[in-house]
Amino acid sequence: MPGSLKLTCHDCGSVNRVPAEKLGAGPKCGVCGAKLAEGKVHEMDLATLEKSVKADDLPLLVDFWAPWCGPCRMMAPEFAKAAQALAPDVRLAKIDTHSHPDAAIRYNIQGIPALILFRNGREVARLAGARPAAQIEAFARQKSPA
């Protein structure tokens, strides 16, 4: 792991530089004060997603979902559990494809829920369908080794 990591704040979109050894200490955004690697799932829009994919040094696992999707709603608590388990090594976020249909088009989402793992500015893996937390964790760890 490098001496410092770049992390995009999922609240304000600012890119922050965080010392790698301080990652587990709850670093905060220098602009808005939001926690950067707290083990929670953050809702985001397409612009913040694209910025985070391009800039971040940590893997980002994104859940593409919609509020009308029953399996998506059923998986939400499991995704939140996985976020806690994977922190601070992998950050988890979600994007509502109903409110942000451009995200579904941009990332060629054929069905939801759909998980995409990004690392080093590119997509590294996809997983379709609702999954329990253990499968989400295993997928993220297997596809984004440290």
112-138 per-position pLDDT tens digit: 999 999 998 899 999 999 999 999 999
- Tell me the domain boundaries of the chain: 39-143
Which of the four pLDDT bands, split at 50, 70 and 90, describes residue 1?
very low
Sign of CA dihedral 14, 19, 22, 24: positive
**Residue 126 and residue 114 in contact, taking contact as beta carbons nearer than 8 Å:** yes
From 3.40.30.10, 3.40.50.300, 3.40.640.10, 2.160.20.70, which CATH number describes the 39-143 domain?
Answer: 3.40.30.10
List, by residue number, the catalytic residues.
69, 72
Give pTM, 2 decimals.
Answer: 0.93
- pLDDT higher than threshold 90 for residue 24: no
Percentage of residues of the chain with pLDDT beyond 90? 85
- pLDDT higher than threshold 50 for residue 84: yes
SS3 113: coil
Nearest Cα neighbor of 86 from 50, 135, 19, 44 is 135
Q: What is the mean pLDDT of residues 15-20?
A: 92
Query: What pLDDT, in 10s, does the model give residues 26-59?
Result: 899 999 999 998 899 999 999 999 999 999 999 9
